[in-house]
């Protein structure tokens, strides 16, 4: 049995632990912590990232398969540990989501806890790893596009520019939202990711803590009743009431827009905090990069989320 490292609960009044900014030509590791991906998509995605001027190093493990996983747990964990430990690697971008990252947490948490922050980029099932790094260790992580899921296709210029600005430490443009659920203005640090993954962590040592956060929640291919069920679980766990603001993603294929907004409104309207909908990141049609762990200002009435500080150190 793996001996668990107990990371101290971060004091959110302190500065977040920012990874170093990526310089031109920096080395980026590509790792598959969850489901297996099509090898051709991995190669195309890595080439697209390489064309942006980076030294892209794809772990051989990314091409492995064991059932629906990209290799057995130990192999996936070893690849992630190797990228974390390698001083030449400036960033780690995951291949895709699916399922499997949570199975790695007991195998990699000690290495993450001992390491200096590195840029971690992903979404979907990678939320497990991003949540641990941000929520338990105080790292800034990045909810952004992945290699096989997104880079293997043609990223929109606005999405490519968003990622590059985030990892280089350039000033972030305000993120435009599409609907106000409850007006108001709030400031706090970002936290969150894929709703179903966050809910799956409840009751574990890696459970979420929304205290004083601007919480970002997104998902894909969930029925409206499933969104209701997961938000109800977060409410009854006492987490939604701890947030100072909530931003929902685009919730693609989760019902009609009307159905989605009815559920989100019903589950959040009595919280007394600003709530907005439509941030284009993750599973949505848009692939904007959202730093997690940085101060932001949510103006739900104006439907704007402003990033107030860099997610990387110079």
Count how many Cα atoms sit within 13 Å of the Cα of residue 180 in the half-sphere of its side chain.
Answer: 13
Torsion of CA 209, 298, 303, 124, to 10 degrees: -30
Opening angle at CA 191, ends 187 and 194, nearest 5: 135
Question: Which residue of the set 59, 109, 218, 281 is catalytic?
Answer: 218
Consecutive H or E run containing 229: helix 224-236
Q: Would residue 35 show up in a list of annotated catalytic residues for this protein?
A: no
Q: Would residue 222 show up in a list of annotated catalytic residues for this protein?
A: no
Q: Would residue 171 show up in a list of annotated catalytic residues for this protein?
A: no
**Residue 144 has which token pair?**
């952004």
Dihedral sign, Cα of residue 162, residue 167, residue 285, residue 298? negative
Residue from 51, 300, 308 nearest 186 by CA:
300
Outline where DSSP puts E strands in the chain.
27-31, 55-58, 89-94, 119-122, 141-143, 175-176, 179-182, 185-194, 213-218, 245-249, 275-279, 290-292, 295-299, 304-307
Torsion of CA 214, 219, 222, 227, to 10 degrees: -10
**Residue 156 has which token pair?**
């929109």
Question: Which residue of the set 128, 143, 283, 310 is catalytic?
Answer: 283
- Reported residue count of the chain is 314
Question: Which residue of the set 35, 59, 109, 124 is catalytic?
Answer: 124
The residue written with tokens 């990209």 in the block is: 70
Catalytic residues: 124, 218, 283
């Amino acid at each position: 049995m793996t001996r668990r490292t107990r990371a101290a609960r971060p004091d959110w009044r302190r500065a977040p632990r920012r990874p170093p900014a990526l310089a031109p030509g920096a080395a980026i590791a590509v790792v598959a912590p969850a489901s297996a991906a099509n090898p051709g998509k991995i190669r195309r995605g890595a080439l697209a990232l390489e064309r942006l001027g980076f030294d892209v190093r794809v772990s051989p493990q990314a091409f492995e398969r064991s059932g629906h996983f990209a290799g057995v747990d130990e192999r996936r964990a070893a690849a992630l540990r190797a990228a974390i430990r390698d001083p030449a690697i400036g960033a780690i971008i995951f291949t895709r989501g699916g399922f499997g990252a949570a199975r790695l947490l007991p195998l990699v948490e000690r290495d993450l806890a001992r390491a200096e922050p590195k840029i971690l980029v992903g979404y979907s099932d990678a939320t497990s790893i991003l949540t641990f790094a941000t929520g338990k260790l105080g790292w800034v992580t990045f909810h952004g596009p992945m290699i096989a899921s997104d880079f293997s296709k043609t990223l929109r210029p606005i999405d490519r520019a968003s990622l590059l600005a985030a990892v280089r430490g350039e000033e972030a443009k305000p993120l435009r939202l599409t609907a106000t659920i409850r007006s108001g203005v709030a400031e706090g640090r970002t936290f969150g990711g894929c709703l179903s993954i966050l809910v799956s962590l409840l009751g574990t040592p890696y459970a979420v803590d929304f205290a004083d956060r601007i919480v970002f929640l997104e998902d894909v291919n969930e029925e409206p009743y499933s969104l209701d069920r997961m938000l109800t679980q977060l409410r009854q766990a006492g987490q939604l009431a701890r947030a100072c603001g909530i931003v929902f993603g685009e919730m693609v294929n989760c019902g009609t827009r009307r159905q989605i907004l009815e559920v989100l409104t019903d589950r959040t309207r009595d919280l007394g905090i600003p709530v907005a909908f439509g941030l284009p990141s993750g599973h949505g049609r848009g692939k904007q990069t959202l730093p997690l762990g940085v101060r932001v200002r949510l103006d739900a009435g104006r439907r704007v989320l402003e990033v107030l500080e860099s997610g990387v150190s110079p």
